[in-house]
Structures are given as structure tokens and as C-alpha cells.
Structure 1
């Protein structure tokens, strides 16, 4: 479970939160990994927190310009609890007025209702959202939601930082297949007192296979 929070004001800082200390240890000490991330874990601007992301967010009062969420798929109630209205509301409070938040939202082919439910839950927390998808080599066609506190444009001329997997036409990422659009009507808001995302996920996986 990975949560990254960035501040771009004067001296840039990055907070990375992950529950699995072994994963963090690999990222720091395995040469093949440090070569891939340019030894990012040794950058003094990077602060690593080996703890539960929900606990980190609950105790945090900082403001961030960018929040990146890469939580595991909501296969069980414990993981579905990471995609709740309540957590998104807390993240809303941490996001700067002009900031952006991005959340991995599962496969748009295998679990389209889960995909749209994550977006709907973010919207219920107050975010303006836009869905997009791109091919991740090890996962296939994968969905995401980008959110902000005010409306924003998805017209992107080019990306000025190094990247590996984005398509040549960036705007194509915001065009979703018709099949996934039909599932949008069945999307739900996932709440702590009514966790349903894991049930939807497991039902969709069975139907897909």
C-alpha cells in the first residue's frame, strides 16, 4: 500500500507512506531497484514512513500539492477500507487549493463498477474528478482518477518530464471504452459504515473469468 504526498513550495519535499517495511528495504538496498529510481530513497527531500496510510492521514495536518494513491485492489474489507468516503474527505483537507490527487482505480475491463465507484466516492468527498486509463505493462489496461478542489482541464499538450508508458497522444488516455462507460450507472459510494467495494470487486472478477 503506497501513499505519496508532495509539496512544491520553495524546497520540494516528498512523503512516502508504505506499510510493508520489507518492500521499503528492497527499494533502498537492492541495486536493480535503486538503479530504476535513481536512488530516490537517498534524496534528503524524501521522507519515508513505514506505517499504515490511514493512520498517517488521520494524524497529518500538512498541505500537499500532489497526492498519489497506489493502494492494493479492494479484495477484502480491510482493503476496501482504503477507498472510503471518510478517507477521501481527510485527503481533501490535506490537498492544497490548486493541488491534484490521483488514485489507482483498478482494471476498467475486469472491474468497471469498482473503477467508477472509486471515482464516485472521490466526488462525494468534494473532488472534481476525471477518469483516465493507460496500459501498464505488468497489469494491462488500467484505470485511474485524477481529482482537484476545483474544475480543471484534461487537455495536455505534452509531458515535460521523463516517462516510459504514456501513449504518444496523451489526451487519448481520457477516452474510455464504451463498455466501461455502461458500468458507470451502477457505481456506488463506498463508506466505512457500508463497505461494499470488496463485494463488487469479487463479483466482477468472477463474472469476468
Structure 2
């Protein structure tokens, strides 16, 4: 019989001899810290600093964490926008209409919230009287306060325009406290001259 010819035995290391895969690099710790510190909005500066440190390190050594760093910076940026808007609103002069004084000018934000402005700037209302309303802690009722405030403001308007007549483009506006404001110690009627078009640009001549 002819002898069988077997293929040569492969040489080299077998699969059992293959080296183990290299360990995966750990996620950058600064990136993790940046995202965690951004969430409570109490440590924004640390979050921003750690985020930029993580971006530099991950770019240099290739370790994972770039996405976490970007997320931390994004959350911190969103918080900064919220804080900036809140500060701008606070500094803009928004106030309760019951905190004004005679001679103040303002634009209305809501039924009881206003933004005070200089009277030589565009505005809708000029205060000509602030009158303390009688009554104790018990709320007199909306109808009672409305009628009382209107009577007081009408009398004060007559006294305000002693030498001139009220401009035809202005109307009397009366602000009186609702129940919650009354219980919060706002016990005044605010009398204003209001431009229906919001086009007042100077103090009202009287």
C-alpha cells in the first residue's frame, strides 16, 4: 500500500498560548466629577474646571470620558443661563405695584407686578397718589375695596389737576389689593394715569 502523506503540523503558538486582551482604560475621573458636580448647581465652578481638565486629558491620553466632560459642561452652561436670566429679572426693577410711590412711572408685567422706569423713558403709568385704605386685618371684600379705591383716586385726581385738565389720551387706573395681598399687609390703593397706548414718554403735566 502506498504510504499516506499527511500535511505538516502547523507551527507557532496555539490559541491556548494567545496573550490576554489588554485591560480597558478607565474613564477619566475628572469627566465623571464634572457631570456629577453640575447636577446640583451648587458647584458649577468646580464642574466647569473639571470638565475642561477632562477634555485636555482625554485628548492627550485617549482615555474615555470626553462625552461625560461635554455633558457636564453643557449642564453647567444651562445652569449659568438660568442664573443669568434670574439676575437680569431681579435687576430690571420688577416689583409689586403696591411698593410704588407718588411720582413713580412704570410698565405693567401682570395685574400686580410692574417694572419701574424713569419717567422720561417710555412707560404706561404714572402714579399720582398712594392712599392708605381703612380697615383692620380682616379683608373688606373686593367690591368694597374697588368702590372705596375708585372714590379716593377720583378725589385725588381732582386735586392733582388743579391748574390743568387731565389729558384726553390718559385714563385713571386704580390698583387695590386682592385678599392675599391684603393679608400680606398691602393696604393701599395706587392711583395712576394710564396711557391706553402705553406711549407716555415724559412726566404728566398737571
Q: TM-score surpassing 0.5?
A: no
Higher strand share: 1
Based on CA coordinates, which of the two structures has the bigger radius of gyration?
2
Q: TM-score, normalised by structure 2?
A: 0.20
Higher relative contact order (Cα pairs below 8 Å, separated by 6+ residues)? 1
Q: TM-score, normalised by structure 1?
A: 0.20
